[in-house]
């Protein structure tokens, strides 16, 4: 495996390639708001880990903003879920990154978070992932695990929508 990742191919969420064999695919698209200010606020909340923290994931204080090579020792309740950022982009109409799982994560795979400004001015969060069990107990969840993952992706969207509005208010104050 490349660089200690627990899956291959690393970076496929950026290229949009097919889901690797043996993994489940997830894609959720959630409307966040409207306009460049919302995009900027959402991008800051996303890359600074505020969206993750708002959904209940624990990200240690002092974790650098999302950039390739940044290791993130996420915690989900009592579970350790170590990840590493595999790619990031900061453009005028798209901000996002993906992280991949490292040894000790209960799953194997990659998850991408991209906030984009559509031509009509709407701002969207796309959560794209491919994953499979990395620990025996995740395999026992079967379809329930995939339903849970989809629910978490939608929660990311709700939290980012709120954080984006808060970020506009804070900058305007």
* CA dist list (Å): 100 to 23, 76, 127: 13, 16, 14
Domain contains 142: yes
pLDDT of residue 140: 67
pLDDT of residue 16: 81
Domain contains 15: no
CATH number for the domain spanning 104: value is 3.30.530.20
Give burial (CB, 10 Å; 0-12/13-18/19+) of 168. middle
Any idea what DSSP says for residue 102?
Answer: -
Residue-range definition of the domain harbouring residue 152: 2-8+23-172
Query: How many whole angstroms separate alpha carbon 117 and alpha carbon 92?
Result: 8
Query: How many whole angstroms separate alpha carbon 94 and alpha carbon 101?
Result: 23
Domain contains 17: no
User: Phi-psi bin for 16: left (phi > 0), alpha (psi -120 to 50), beta?
Assistant: left
Extract the tokens encoding 8. 């291959």
Interstrand relation of 24-34 and 107-117 (parallel, antiparallel or unpaired): unpaired
What is the enclosing helix (H) or strand (E) of 124? strand 122-133
Map tokens 């950022």 to a residue.
85
Per-residue pLDDT of the chain (173 residues), as tens digits, is 445 999 999 999 998 888 888 899 999 999 999 999 999 999 999 999 999 999 999 999 999 999 999 999 999 889 899 999 999 999 999 999 999 999 999 999 999 999 999 999 999 999 999 998 887 777 766 766 677 778 889 999 999 999 998 766 555 44
pLDDT of residue 43: 97
Query: How many whole angstroms separate alpha carbon 18 and alpha carbon 35?
Result: 31
Say how many domains are in the chain: 1
Domain contains 18: no
Domain contains 16: no
pLDDT of residue 1: 43
């Amino acid at each position: 495996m490349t660089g200690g990742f627990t899956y291959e191919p690393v970076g496929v969420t950026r290229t949009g390639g097919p889901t690797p064999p043996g993994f489940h695919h997830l894609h959720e698209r959630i409307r966040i708001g409207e306009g460049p200010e919302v995009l900027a606020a959402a991008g800051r909340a996303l890359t600074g880990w505020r969206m993750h923290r708002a959904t209940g994931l624990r990200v240690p204080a002092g974790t650098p903003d999302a950039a390739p090579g940044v290791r993130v020792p996420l915690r989900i309740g009592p579970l350790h879920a170590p990840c590493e950022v595999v790619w990031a982009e900061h453009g005028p109409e798209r901000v996002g990154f993906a992280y991949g799982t490292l040894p000790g994560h209960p799953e194997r795979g990659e998850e991408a978070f991209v906030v984009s400004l559509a031509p009509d001015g709407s701002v969207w969060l796309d959560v794209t992932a491919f994953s499979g069990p990395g620990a025996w107990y995740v395999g026992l969840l079967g379809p329930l695990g995939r339903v849970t993952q989809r629910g978490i992706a939608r929660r990311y969207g709700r939290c980012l929508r709120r954080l984006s509005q808060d970020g506009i208010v804070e900058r305007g104050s």
